[in-house]
Structure 1
Amino acid sequence: MDIRYEEPLYVDELSLHTVRVLGQGAFGSVTLKAHPGLGLYAKKTSSIRLKENLKKELRIMLYFRNHPRIVQASSDHVHLGMLLKDCHIYMEYASQGNLEEAISSFGGKPLPEHVIGRTTRMILQGLEALHTHGYVHCDLKPDNILLFPSTSFGEPWDAKLADFGLSKEPNTFHVLKFAGTNMYMPPEVSEDPEGLVGPALDIWSLGCVVFEMFGGKSMEMDVGVTYVWKLEQWISPVAIDFLRRCHTWHPWNRASATELLNHPFIMQRVLRVPLLIPSPPERKQYLERPLFTPRVPGPLPTPIGPRKRQQEAAAVRQEAQGSAVEDQSTVEQNDVDSKKSSSILS
C-alpha cells in the first residue's frame, strides 16, 4: 500500500530561530530551528545547483509519509534562499543524533548484540519499504541513519532512514558509479561501474553498518574502490551467518530485505545487557576502594537474623521444659503429702 500525504505541510519560517548547527558536509548543512509554539525542526540547506537532489529527497520523504522507519518531512516544498544561491527543506528533528555518533561513543567496542539486532531490524524495515516500491537508498551508512527517542520501554532509540539525495527512484536510470560512499559500496561498483543499481547494493551497505556496530574495521583492497570488513572479537554464529548473507560477493546471491527480516539474528531473543554508560566520578572512586576492609580487634558481634531467632526459640523451649518438670515434681510431692496425711487421720 502506497503511503501518501493528505493535507499540505507548512512551516512558519518567520517565527523560527536558529538553535545550533547539527552537521555540515560536502552537500550542505543541517541546522536546528525552533518555533515558539510548534517545537523543533531540522533545516537542511544545499547549494542551488543541488536543488534537484533536494527535491528528490523531499519527494521520497513525502511518498513514505507516516512510515515509522523513514524520516518525515515537515514542509511539502523546497524553499529558496534570499539571494537564490541556496535552497532548503524542513524535516523532523532526530534528538538522539545519528548511528555514527552512537557507534563512536563506544570507542571502538561493540554495541550490545540485542541493540545491534533491534537497530538492524528497524533499518531493514525501512529498506523493505523502499525496495518494495522500486526505490534504492544508494548511500546507506551510519551517518544517514537517524536516532529518535524509543517508543519501546527500556530500549535506547528508534532508527529511521534519511538522506535520499542519491537514491534511485522507480523507473529511472541509475548506474553504480553515481552511488554513495566508497567504504560502504559493494564489489560490483569497482568491477562494473556502469552497472545498474539494484536493492542488493543496499544489502551490502547494511552488512557494512552491522560490521561497524560490532566494532569492525574496514580495509581498502589493492584494486578498485572495494573495502573489506574484519572483526577483532567473537560474535555469535547467527550474527556471522547474517553478515555472510549480506556480503555474498555476487549481488544475485545476496538475501533480500524481506528474507533478512526473518533471519534468526533478527528474530532471536538475546539476553538484554544495559548500555555501558561511564560512571560519575563519585561512583568510580567508590568502585576503586578495596573490596575487603581490615579486621578490627574486639568482641564478636551478637548474632543477628534467623540464627538469633533460632537461639531465642531454643532458649524459650528449654525454659518451658524446665518449668514443666518443676510443676510435675510439685504435683507428685503434693500427692505423697496427701497420702501421708490421710493415713495419719485414719
Structure 2
Amino acid sequence: MGSRSTWSRSKHLGKGSYGSVFLGLHKNGTMFAVKTAKLENSNSLVKEKKILKHIGNSPEIVRYYGDEITIEKGIQYYNLFLEYASYGDLLKLINKVGGRIPKEGPVQVFTRMILDSLCCIHAKGIVHCDIKPENILVFSSDRYGCRCQLKIADFGLAKEASEAALESKKYAFCGTPDYMPPESVALFYKYETSMDIWSLGCVVLVMFTGKSIWSGTDGKPLDREEIIQILASTETMPEIPKEMSETGKDFLGKCLQRDPSKRWSAQKLLDHPYVSPFSLRNIEFLKEYPTAVGVKRSRSY
C-alpha cells in the first residue's frame, strides 16, 4: 500500500461510472492522470489495468504507468496511473471548434488515428465496447504531421473477442446508446471486433456533422429506449450527409452495415482511400488546434 509520498492529486478532471479522474503531480514535476475509486468499487479499474498491460506499451493507446492503493482518512482507495491528455478528449475538441470539425480533411486524419488505435486493440483480441468521442483522448504529438494525436482510452467495458454476452441480461452491451451496433440489442450474441467498427462509423458522423446519430423529427436526440427500438425492430440506418465526399460515404458504408460480417475490419479500413496517407490533407486546422483551445504542451509521467 502506498502513502502517496512521491505524488499528489491536483485538479479534478472528470467523473465516470467507476471513479473520478484527477491530474496527478509527481514530486519530480511530471504530470499524469489518476483514476481513483474506493477499493471495494475498483473492479472496473483493476480490469482496465489488466487489459492495458495485455495490450502493452503502444503509441496508439493511452499508456499505463502503474497503480497504488492508498489509505486516506481510514478509507482504502485504488489509484490507476495513466498518460495525461493535456488537450482533453475528442468531444471537447469538437465543442471548442464550434460543435463540429470544420473541414473534412481533419476528419480523415482523426479517423486514421482512431483506426490505428483500433488495430492495436483488435490485434490483441480485445473489443473496446464503448468507442465514443469522450473515450478518445487528444495528446500533444507531431507523429501525424500535426500537433495532436488521438488515442483510445477507458477500457472499463472492454471484452475479449468471442466472449458471450450475459444471457441473464436483456441488453448486455453496456456501451453508449448513440454508438451501439444493432447486434448489441439481441438477446444472445458474442462480442466481436466488428462492434467497434460500427461505433467508429458513428464517431466519424459526429465529427463531420456535430449532431446526434439518432434524432427525432424535432431534431432532439432520442433516448436509450427509443434507440434500442430502432436497432431491434427496424432497418433504419444512420443518415450519411449528402455533402460528404464520395470516398467518405463509401468509408462509412464499410462501417455502418447492419450485418456485422459485412463490416470491414480495422486493418482493412486502413487501406481505404479515405484514410490513406496520400489522401490526408488540409491539416492546417490541426496545427492551430492547441492555440484554439488555449492549452500548452506538458511533460508526461
Normalized against structure 2, the TM-score is what? 0.79
Match of 2:282 among 256, 259, 272: 272
Runs of 4+ more than 4 Å apart:
none
Structure 2 residue 135 is matched with structure 1 residue 144? yes
CA apart distance, 1:152: 3.4
Q: 2:198 maps to what in 1?
A: 204
Change in CA separation of 1:170 and 1:110 when aligned onto 2, cut-off 3 Å: closer
**For 1:95-148, what per-residue CA distance to the aligned partner results, in whole angstroms no more than 9, with x for missing partners?**
111111001112233342222212211211221122122110011111111111
Separation in 2, partners of 1:68, 1:254: 26
Higher alpha-carbon Rg? 1
Asked whether the 8 Å contact 1:214–1:231 carries over to 2, the reply is no
Give the number of equivalent residue pairs: 268
Asked whether the 8 Å contact 1:81–1:87 carries over to 2, the reply is no
CA apart distance, 1:156: 3.5
Once the two structures are superposed, the pairs formed by residues 1-346 of structure 1 within 5 Å of their partners are 13-75=4-66, 77-82=67-72, 83-84=74-75, 86-152=77-143, 154-169=145-160, 172-175=163-166, 177-190=172-185, 192-215=186-209, 216-219=211-214, 220=222, 221=226, 224=229, 226=231, 229-230=238-239, 234-267=243-276, 268-275=278-285
Asked whether the 8 Å contact 1:62–1:72 carries over to 2, the reply is no
**For 1:29-67, what per-residue CA distance to the aligned partner results, in whole angstroms no more than 9, with x for missing partners?**
100011231500110012434422111100121222321
- Letter paired with 1:99: L
Asked whether the 8 Å contact 1:166–1:180 carries over to 2, the reply is yes
CA apart distance, 1:12: 8.0
Asked whether the 8 Å contact 2:65–2:82 carries over to 1, the reply is yes
SS of residue matched to 2:65: coil
Change in CA separation of 1:271 and 1:160 when aligned onto 2, cut-off 3 Å: closer
CA apart distance, 1:217: 2.8
Separation in 2, partners of 1:222, 1:52: 29
Higher RCO (C-alpha 8 Å, min separation 6): 2
CA apart distance, 1:270: 4.3
- Letter paired with 2:45: L
Q: 2:294 maps to what in 1?
A: none
Identity in percent: 34
- List runs of 5+ in structure 1 lacking aligned partners: 1-10, 281-346
Change in CA separation of 1:243 and 1:81 when aligned onto 2, cut-off 3 Å: farther
Which is strand-richer, 1 or 2? 2
CA-atom RMSD in angstroms: 2.8
Asked whether the 8 Å contact 1:218–1:228 carries over to 2, the reply is no
Asked whether the 8 Å contact 2:178–2:212 carries over to 1, the reply is no
SS of residue matched to 2:229: coil
Asked whether the 8 Å contact 1:140–1:206 carries over to 2, the reply is yes
SS of residue matched to 1:258: helix
Normalized against structure 1, the TM-score is what? 0.70
Asked whether the 8 Å contact 2:119–2:267 carries over to 1, the reply is yes
Which is helix-richer, 1 or 2? 1
CA apart distance, 1:214: 0.3
SS of residue matched to 2:213: strand
